[in-house]
Amino acid sequence: GFVNLLQYILGFNPWGWVVLFASLLIYGPSTNLTAEDLWMIQWLGFALFFVILTTFIPSMRCFGRGYMYNYNAAFPASLLVAMIWGGKKHTHMVNVLLSVTLLACLAGIVFYLWKLKHSKTLKVDAEMDVVIKHLQQLPDGVVLCLPNHWDDLVAYKTDKKVLAGGHGFGFKLLEPIFPRILRPISEIIEEYHVKYLLTIDGYLPENFIKELPTDKVTAFDSYRLFELI
């Protein structure tokens, strides 16, 4: 929904938005900003405007996940901090905004590290390493990973083909499986010759699992590897 998207575009690069807002606060008839400062503000503004367009306008979403484009605002935001705050052209309010943003970013890093420690999908833990080594020993075959966080990892570590999403090419070919599965899984397995399905316990619904042409299921702690007929 709208609120979630707003959280994404703010959370992926809070500095960009805060620096733009702080720059606009000190802009006015009596501003001591230089022409170069104003040019940098425009650069940052256009970068963030593109984020808004590709996040909230459906016809623009073909360019990708809009909030991911926040990285384009990182460089101009950094330059603006150096030019305005470092050049002592700011007010007390700008100091407060930047300080609060710094604390929020530090809190976000701590929260991310906590989630990383307890996550099964954001890192390669000991059990996943066992799964990878087991897959390496199995005959060649296409692997389907659900969730798809593991696509690149499995492809790289096992040297097996992975039925995965794309990186900006061939969207029509990916429609049945990415970003969501639109066809019965049995049809997808047959068409793409999927031999293995790697998932995590509790991730897939029961009716989905029942439809799998399962030959063997191997459990590795909470991970499940289905060998398919």
Closest CA to 145 of 207, 112, 210, 192: 192
Closest CA to 33 of 78, 99, 80: 80
Separation CA 102–CA 6 (nearest Å): 19
Q: Per-domain residue ranges for the chain?
A: 2-118, 126-228
This prediction's pTM: 0.57
Predicted confidence pLDDT, tens digits, the chain (229 residues): 788 888 888 888 888 898 888 888 877 666 677 788 888 989 999 999 999 998 888 888 778 778 888 889 999 998 888 887 766 666 777 788 888 888 988 998 899 888 888 776 667 788 889 999 999 999 999 999 998 888 889 999 999 999 986 655 666 667 677 777 888 999 999 999 999 999 999 999 999 999 999 999 999 989 999 999 8
